[in-house]
C-alpha cells in the first residue's frame, strides 16, 4: 500500500495494493515494484517463486472472497510480461508446485470440497486442464509436494486426515496420526524424503513429529511438558440438528466423570465465517477453565470451511442467519442433554465470532448466562466504511445493496437491541488500535446495550491499550485479558473454585 496518513490511518480504506521485490539488508525505499493494477483498486496480491526458480506466481484476490486469479512471470527473461493464466474469479486456486511448464493447483472449481488439477502453461485453455486427484468425501484443505509425491491435508468432520498420492494421482497411504486432532506442517522441497508436522488436540499440546516419507513412520521430535494429565479429560464429537434440520458437528471436552445434571458451567465457542475451519486445538487457558470443572464446547457452524465451499456459502450473505441458528441450536442441545442450563452457559467468539455472539445474545437473551463478544463486527450497516471492512462484503453482503441491506439490518447486533430487555451479563473486549475491526463497533454496542439493558446484570467493556486485533499481542497482555475473562465467568456463572 501507499504510506498511510497518520491522522486518518484507522479510517482510510485499504485500496491499491502493490507487489514489490525486497532484498534483505537494503532499505524499503529501494524495493522494486513488480506488479500493480491502478485500474483495480480492490485487488490484492501475493507472490511466490517456484522451487525451480523459473517462475513468479502472482495470486490475485478480492477482499476475503476465496475466489482468486493466478498470473505468472517467467523469471528467466527479465523483460517477459506478466501472463494472466487464470483471469476469472470463478473459483479458488492454490498453487502447489510445478514440473517445468506444468503447474499443479488445489481448486474448488466444479468441486466444492476441492481437488488437484494440472495446467500446462503451453496449453492453458481450460479444456486442456487435467484432473489429478478428484474430489473426495472429505474436504481438501491443503497440498504440499514432498518425495516427488502429493501430501494432501483433508478435513474429515472437522479433524485432520493426511493422505499421500503419487504425481499421477494414485493413492499411496494414509498417515497414521496419534488421534482425532489438527495437523500442520508437511512442508519442504519436492524431493525431500523426510518432513515435520505438528499434531494437537483439545487435550494434547502441539507435538512436533518427524515423518519418513519412504517408510511412512512418525517419531516424536519435540513434545512440550505441561503439568497436567491428559488422561483426566475426554473429548467427544456430537452431531445436532439446526433449525432447518442440518446436522452440525460439535466437540465437547471436559474432565472425566462429569455429571449430566444441568449444573456444569459451560463455555460455548464459535466462529462460522469466511471459509475458516475451527479444528481441535490445545489451549492452556481453556485447560484452566476445565480444571475448574467447566465444559468447553466448540460448534462447527455453517459459514466455515469444514465441509467445503457449499458449507461456507450456506452461511454467507442472505444465508447468514443460518450461522446464528446453528449456534443457538448448539446451546439448546447442550441444555437438552443436561450438560448445562441457561444460567450456567456462556457464549464466546472473536471478530466474526464477536458478531456471532452479538447476534445470538440479541436474538435469544434468555438462553445464555453470559456473553463475551471480542473485537466483534457489531454495526452491520457501516462496517464497510472503515479500513478493510469493504473486503468482508463477499461474506456479509453489502449494505449498499437493498436486498442485502434488509438481511444485514435484520440481525445487526447494534440495531436489534430492544429497550427494556434483560440481556445476559456481557463482557465486551476490544483494543484501541484495532485497525481490522475498528473499536467503534464495540464502543457503540456497549453504549447501546447499557442503555437498552434492564436489570442488575453487568454490561462491561474492556479496552486494551497499545494493542490491535490480536496478532502479536504480548504474552503479558494475553494473560491479563484471559484472567479478566475467567474471573468474569466465575462470578457470573457462580463457578465453585
> DSSP letters along 100-131, please?
TTEEEEEE-TT-TT-EEEEEETTS-SGGG-EE
pLDDT tens figures, 104-133: 999 999 999 999 999 999 999 999 999 999
pLDDT of residue 473: 86
- Model confidence at 368, pLDDT cuts 50, 70, 90, reads very high
pLDDT tens figures, 308-330: 999 999 999 999 999 999 999 99
pLDDT of residue 3: 72
Tell me what the mean pLDDT of segment 224-250 comes to. 97
Q: b or e along 336-365 (b: 16 or more beta carbons within 10 Å of the residue's beta carbon)?
A: eeebbbbebbbbbbbbbbbbbbbbbbbbbb
* Strand boundaries in 37-114, DSSP class E: 43-49, 55-62, 68-74, 83-86, 93-99, 102-107
Tell me what the mean pLDDT of segment 378-388 comes to. 95
Tell me what the mean pLDDT of segment 431-441 comes to. 92
pLDDT tens figures, 251-287: 999 999 999 999 999 999 999 999 999 999 999 999 9
pLDDT of residue 7: 66
pLDDT of residue 141: 97
User: Which listed residue (92, 351, 412, 442) is catalytic?
Assistant: 351
Tell me what the mean pLDDT of segment 445-465 comes to. 96
Tell me what the mean pLDDT of segment 401-410 comes to. 98
pTM: 0.93
pLDDT of residue 434: 86
Annotated catalytic residue 351:
yes
pLDDT of residue 384: 95
Distances (CA, A) of 479 to 182, 253, 301, 482, 483: 24, 22, 28, 5, 6
Q: Given the DSSP bridges, would you call strands 370-374 and 345-350 parallel, antiparallel or unpaired?
A: parallel
pLDDT tens figures, 89-106: 999 999 999 999 999 999
Tell me what the mean pLDDT of segment 459-473 comes to. 90
Q: Which residues contact 135 (CB under 8 A, 6 or more apart)?
A: 111, 112, 113, 114, 115
pLDDT tens figures, 170-227: 999 999 999 999 999 999 999 999 999 999 999 999 999 999 999 999 999 999 999 9
Task: Decide if pLDDT at 10 tops 70.
Answer: no
As a whole-number percent, the residues of the chain with pLDDT over 90 amount to: 92
pLDDT of residue 408: 99
User: Which listed residue (65, 153, 325, 434) is catalytic?
Assistant: 434
As a whole-number percent, the residues of the chain with pLDDT over 70 amount to: 98
Higher pLDDT among residues 255 and 473, named by residue: 255
Task: Decide if pLDDT at 11 tops 60.
Answer: no
Dist CA 23 CA 397 (whole Å): 40
User: Which listed residue (159, 312, 384, 469) is catalytic?
Assistant: 469
Dist CA 354 CA 437 (whole Å): 10
- Model confidence at 1, pLDDT cuts 50, 70, 90, reads low
- Return the CATH fold of 230-492: Rossmann fold (3.40.50)
Helix (H) or strand (E) holding 464: strand 459-464
Amino acid at each position: 500500500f501507499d504510506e498511510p496518513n497518520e491522522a486518518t490511518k484507522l479510517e482510510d480504506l485499504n485500496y491499491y495494493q502493490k507487489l514489490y521485490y525486497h532484498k534483505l539488508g537494503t532499505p524499503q525505499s529501494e524495493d522494486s515494484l513488480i506488479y500493480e493494477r491502478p485500474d483495480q483498486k480492490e485487488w490484492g496480491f501475493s507472490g511466490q517463486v517456484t522451487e525451480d526458480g523459473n517462475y513468479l506466481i502472482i495470486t490475485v484476490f478480492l477482499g476475503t472472497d476465496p475466489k482468486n486469479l493466478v498470473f505468472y512471470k517467467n523469471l528467466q527473461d527479465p523483460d517477459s510480461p506478466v501472463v494472466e493464466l487464470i483471469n476469472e474469479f470463478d473459483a479458488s486456486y492454490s498453487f502447489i508446485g510445478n514440473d517445468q511448464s506444468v503447474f499443479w493447483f488445489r481448486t474448488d472449481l466444479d468441486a466444492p470440497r476441492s481437488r488437484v488439477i494440472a495446467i500446462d502453461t503451453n496449453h492453458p485453455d481450460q479444456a486442456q486442464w487435467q484432473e489429478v486427484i478428484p474430489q473426495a468425501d472429505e474436504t481438501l484443505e491443503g497440498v504440499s509436494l514432498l518425495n516427488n509425491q502429493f501430501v494432501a491435508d483433508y478435513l474429515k468432520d472437522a479433524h485432520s486426515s493426511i493422505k499421500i498420492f503419487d504425481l499421477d494421482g494414485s493413492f499411496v497411504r494414509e498417515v497414521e496420526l496419534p488421534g482425532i486432532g489438527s495437523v500442520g506442517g508437511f512442508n519442504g522441497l519436492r524431493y525431500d524424503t523426510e518432513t515435520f508436522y505438528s499434531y494437537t488436540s483439545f487435550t494434547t499440546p502441539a507435538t512436533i513429529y518427524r515423518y519418513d516419507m519412504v517408510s511412512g513412520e512418525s517419531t516424536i521430535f519435540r513434545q512440550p511438558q505441561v503439568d497436567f494429565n491428559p488422561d483426566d479429560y475426554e473429548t467427544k464429537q456430537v452431531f445436532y440438528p439446526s433449525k432447518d434440520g442440518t446436522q452440525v458437528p460439535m466437540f465437547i471436552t471436559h474432565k472425566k466423570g462429569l455429571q449430566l445434571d444441568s449444573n456444569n458451567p459451560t463455555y460455548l465457542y464459535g466462529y462460522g465465517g469466511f471459509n475458516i475451519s475451527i479444528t481441535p486445538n490445545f489451549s492452556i487457558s481453556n485447560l484452566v477453565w476445565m480444571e475448574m470443572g467447566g465444559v468447553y464446547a466448540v460448534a462447527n457452524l455453517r459459514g466455515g470451511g469444514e465441509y467445503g465451499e457449499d458449507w461456507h456459502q450456506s452461511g454467507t450473505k442472505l444465508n447468514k442467519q443460518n450461522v446464528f441458528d446453528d449456534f443457538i441450536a448448539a446451546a439448546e442441545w447442550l441444555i437438552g442433554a443436561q450438560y448445562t442450563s441457561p444460567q450456567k452457559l456462556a457464549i464466546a467468539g472473536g471478530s466474526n465470532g464477536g458478531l456471532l455472539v452479538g447476534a445470538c445474545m440479541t436474538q435469544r437473551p434468555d438462553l445464555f448466562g453470559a456473553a463475551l463478544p471480542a473485537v466483534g463486527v457489531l454495526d452491520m450497516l457501516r462496517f464497510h466504511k472503515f479500513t478493510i471492512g469493504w473486503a468482508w462484503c463477499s461474506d456479509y453482503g453489502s449494505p449498499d445493496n437493498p436486498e442485502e441491506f434488509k438481511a444485514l439490518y435484520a440481525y445487526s447486533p447494534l440495531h436489534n437491541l430492544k429497550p427494556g430487555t434483560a440481556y445476559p451479563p456481557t463482557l465486551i473486549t476490544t483494543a484501541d488500535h484495532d485497525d481490522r475491526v475498528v473499536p467503534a463497533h464495540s464502543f457503540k454496542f456497549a453504549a447501546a446495550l447499557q442503555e437498552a439493558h434492564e436489570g442488575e446484570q453487568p454490561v462491561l467493556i474492556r479496552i486494551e491499550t497499545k494493542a490491535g486485533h490480536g496478532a502479536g499481542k504480548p504474552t503479558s497482555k494475553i494473560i491479563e485479558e484471559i484472567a479478566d475473562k475467567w474471573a468474569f465467568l466465575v462470578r457470573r456463572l457462580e463457578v465453585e473454585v
